[in-house]
Amino acid sequence: MILLRLAFKSLRARALTTTLTVFSIALSMMLLVGVDRLRDAAQAGFSGTLSKTDLIVGARGGGLPLLLSSVFHIGNASNNISWESYQHFAHHPAVAWTIPISMGDSYHGYRVIATDDNFYAHYKYRKDKSLKIVRGHTPEEIFDVALGAEVASRLHLSLGQHIILAHGIESKSIINHDTTPFAVVGILAPTATPVDRAVYITLLGDEAMHFGWTDGTPPAIGEAVPKLDPSKLKVDEITCFLLGTKSRISTLYLQREINTYKPETLTAIIPAFTLQELWGLLDYADTALSLVCVAVLVVGLLAMLIALYTALNERRREIAILRAIGLHARQIFILFLIESTLIATVGTAVGIAAVYVLLFLLRTTVENYFGLPIALVGLSTRVEYYALATIVAGALLGTVPAFRAYRNSLADGLNAQ
Amino acid sequence: MTTAAAIHMQNILFAYQPAKTILQIDDFSIPAGGRVFLHGPSGSGKTTLLSLISGILVAQQGIVTVLGEHLAKLSPSARDRLRGSQIGYIFQGFNLIPYLTVAENIALPCELHDTRRARISEPTIAKEVTRLARRLDIDTHLNKPVTQLSTGQQQRVAIARALIGSPALVIADEPTSSLDTDRRDAFLALLTEAIEEARKRDNADTTLLFVSHDRSLATHFDHIFSLSDINTASQPQEVNA
């Protein structure tokens, strides 16, 4: 106990060095734990891009491309699904709801997604969050468009404005749908998912843009452009659809049924699995980040070692006095060991406390702006391991100056000047 | 000498390096309860001798008996315990732990050793510290950091720490060399008085071993020895006193 008190007072007497050393370890710890929490948040945010959807159905193709194109708006679907097939599964007894999606056009590089009201009713992200319209309403008329939050804010669009959509998904498109301007009727609340980066029209709106087109090309110059007759519009094909089952148990057999559907070759994927697969691909970046954090921690601990070691010379006198009043050389060793362990422990505690306070204060901001839902869990097992490893490493490194002090105390005896 | 010797050294040989004998003492005794002045110029092996007596170093040959204990037969930690509980040590200068207050410095031996705590005359350590501090006229500085004290005050704190818990042996290693002449005598008077009082108070046989190169101080003591008479080893020059 007396040794603990001595160690504490000696550290307090060297307040500046001690504070800086504690600070450097605390910073390393903050970084390590912060990255750990953010990694969890990133994974939660990523797998929460789409939730409650049991299957995504598209034309025959790979699972990953289907997920990427339907949810992340990356790449193109290889093929379309006929309206009949869609209707077949939309009315399937095991199916609770479906969200049809038609893609292929863009607006300033943002995807145009043609869908219906089911999208606003059933699309869920981050467990059970629904889409919300902050201003206006969902598209109802043929030439209504709703904007994702990012589209609205980046392009400074507001309700009532008319926009011309571009054909194709390239940001510099050759063909614009000049004749069919869309009116902005709604703006969606930010979700920090790809939903923010798209504009939404009705399925018939999509058809209206391409009215009179044949095989994906507009009527040639000079060719008679048919007058748009809304009553003649009908949906022939969609790109893919999202599907929710009445009972999740039926997901697997429904998936098999879709995959073996005779009239048309289809692919159904379980988004949760495919999202996980995709996350696995990103894992190496995460490992690299963790390694950097560990390196920072090592630097922090080395700073402590240097601080304690350089103080040794000026403390020889102190050691001689302690020896004179009857401290064993062994106790000198323990005294120095306690000092390093105290520094490492306090640094670790301060670092963890600071990062948790910071995450607590910033969690709503981080979630809204970056889509990283930070779970307010207690110390996770991994953080506990980090803390323990830091303290143990601090104590182990502390044996270096401690052993030196021990040797000094034996060599100098009462003779240190 | 009688069997009541506080320190007895016999046939001592000590060398830091082989073939460079620093101390060779055939027979040297300090009587219990004596006030002993040991004269030794710089480089005469004073600090080495004191390290042998306090059990920090062990002689390669010979027997060192301190307060009835045969030091070589004790384990290192038992020697440390003996030193802490039975010996009060005053250094030449810088006697104090820099990060403790005056009171904490004085109380330290009692915190570390039950035997010394058991021997204090006041009911608590704090009261004993105050009593000693008042006697040594440093009681107004008790809660100050030691760095704010003058050298003379620091040396008085060192006396208080050496005397608290009435150790049987007080060793002072050139404690006056950092003081000027006036203060030197005052310090010496204070030290001997304080030990005298401790003797009376605790009915103890406190032995004082005072080591200095300054012969003029010898008048304050009952027994006077010269290290050059005791030590028959030829003196190497590089040893620091």
Per-residue model confidence as pLDDT tens digits over B102-153 = 999 999 999 888 888 888 888 899 999 999 998 888 889 999 888 888 888 8
Burial A394-414, CB ≥16 within 10 A → b, else e: bbebbeebbebbbebbeebbb
Q: Give me A25's structure tokens.
A: 């370890």
Rounded mean pLDDT, B181-200: 85
Give the distance, in angstroms, between the CA of residue A298 and the centroid of all CA atoms in the same chain: 27
Of the candidates A12, A318, A326, the beta carbon closest to that of B83 is on A326
The pLDDT value given to residue A250: 92
Of the candidates B47, B83, B113, the beta carbon closest to that of A415 is on B47
Are A342 and A8 contacting, i.e. CB atoms less than 8 angstroms apart? yes
Tell whether A132 is within 8 A of chain B (Cβ): no
The pLDDT value given to residue B234: 67
Strand partners, B35: B208
Measured between CA atoms, the residue of chain A closest to residue B111 is: A2
Measured distance CA(B235)–CA(B241) in Å, rounded:
12
Measured distance CA(A155)–CA(A325) in Å, rounded:
78
Position A171 confidence tier, pLDDT thresholds 50, 70, 90: low
What contacts B122, CB < 8 A, 6 or more positions away? B128, B130, B131
Measured distance CA(A291)–CA(A222) in Å, rounded:
64
Contacts of A324 in chain B (CB under 8 A): 54, 83, 89, 91
Contacts of B91 in chain A (CB under 8 A): 320-321, 324, 414
**Nearest C-alpha of chain B: how many angstroms from A333?**
14
3-state secondary structure of A206: helix
Contacts of B50 in chain A (CB under 8 A): 414
The pLDDT value given to residue B1: 40
Measured distance CA(A101)–CA(A96) in Å, rounded:
17
Q: At what angle do helices A15-47 and A2-13 cross, to 10 degrees?
A: 90
Q: Which of A317, A335, A415, A417 to mutate to test the interface with B (most CBs of B within 10 A)?
A: A415
Measured distance CA(B230)–CA(B241) in Å, rounded:
16
The pLDDT value given to residue A417: 57
**Nearest C-alpha of chain A: how many angstroms from B203?**
23
What does the DSSP 8-state code read for residue B231? Answer: B
Measured distance CA(A270)–CA(A273) in Å, rounded:
6
Rounded mean pLDDT, A379-404: 89
The pLDDT value given to residue A289: 83
Does residue A101 have a pLDDT over 80? yes
Does residue B236 have a pLDDT over 60? no
pLDDT tens digits for A315-324? Answer: 888 888 888 8
Does residue B202 have a pLDDT over 80? no
Position A257 confidence tier, pLDDT thresholds 50, 70, 90: very high
What contacts A69, CB < 8 A, 6 or more positions away? A58, A75, A76, A77, A103, A239, A240
Are B6 and B194 contacting, i.e. CB atoms less than 8 angstroms apart? no
pLDDT tens digits for A128-170? Answer: 899 999 999 999 999 999 999 999 999 999 999 999 998 887 7
The pLDDT value given to residue B189: 87
Contacts of B113 in chain A (CB under 8 A): 326
The pLDDT value given to residue A328: 87
| CA distances to A404, A409, B11, B72 from B60, in Å | 25, 19, 10, 10
The pLDDT value given to residue A212: 78
Measured distance CA(A182)–CA(A120) in Å, rounded:
19
Contacts of B89 in chain A (CB under 8 A): 324-325, 414
Task: Give the dihedral of Cα atoms A325, A331, A336, A337; nearest 10 deg.
Answer: -160
Q: Which of B108, B114, B169, B209 to mutate to test the interface with A (most CBs of A within 10 A)?
A: B108
Query: What is the CA angle B116-B121-B125, rounded to 5?
Result: 60
The pLDDT value given to residue B239: 47
Position A416 confidence tier, pLDDT thresholds 50, 70, 90: low
Q: Which residue has the higher pLDDT, B205 or B169?
A: B169
Contacts of A318 in chain B (CB under 8 A): 97-98
The pLDDT value given to residue B152: 86
Q: Which residue has the higher pLDDT, B111 or A415?
A: B111
Of A172, A197, A179, the C-alpha closest to A74 is: A197
Tell whether A3 is within 8 A of chain B (Cβ): no
The pLDDT value given to residue A77: 79
Of the candidates A13, A329, A415, the beta carbon closest to that of B98 is on A13
What count of residues does chain B have? 241
Position B235 confidence tier, pLDDT thresholds 50, 70, 90: low
How does strand B207-212 pair with strand B169-173? parallel
Measured between CA atoms, the residue of chain A closest to residue B78 is: A328
Measured between CA atoms, the residue of chain A closest to residue B92 is: A417
DSSP labels, B158-213: HHHHHHTT--SEEEEESTTTTS-HHHHHHHHHHHHHHHHHHHHHHT---EEEEEES
Average pLDDT, chain B: 86
Q: Give me A246's structure tokens.
A: 């009445």
3-state secondary structure of A373: coil
Contacts of A317 in chain B (CB under 8 A): 94
The pLDDT value given to residue B241: 43
**Of A73-77, B102-106, B198-202, B217-221, which has the strongest mean pLDDT?**
B102-106
Tell whether A219 is within 8 A of chain B (Cβ): no
Strand partners, A95: A245
Measured distance CA(A29)–CA(A290) in Å, rounded:
12
Position A55 confidence tier, pLDDT thresholds 50, 70, 90: very high
8 Å CB contact of B89 and A13: no
The pLDDT value given to residue B2: 43
pLDDT tens digits for A192-249? Answer: 889 999 999 999 999 888 887 877 777 777 776 677 778 788 899 999 999 999 998 9
8 Å CB contact of A324 and B111: no
Phi-psi region of A135 (alpha: psi -120 to 50; beta: other; left: phi over 0): beta
Phi and psi at A307, nearest 5°, equal -60, -45
Measured between CA atoms, the residue of chain A closest to residue B108 is: A325
ipTM above 0.85, yes or no: yes
Q: Which residues 105-144 in chain B show a CB within 8 A of chain A?
A: 108-109, 111-113
Does residue B3 have a pLDDT over 60? no
Tell whether B51 is within 8 A of chain A (Cβ): yes
Whether the model clears a pTM of 0.80, i.e. scores above it, the answer is no
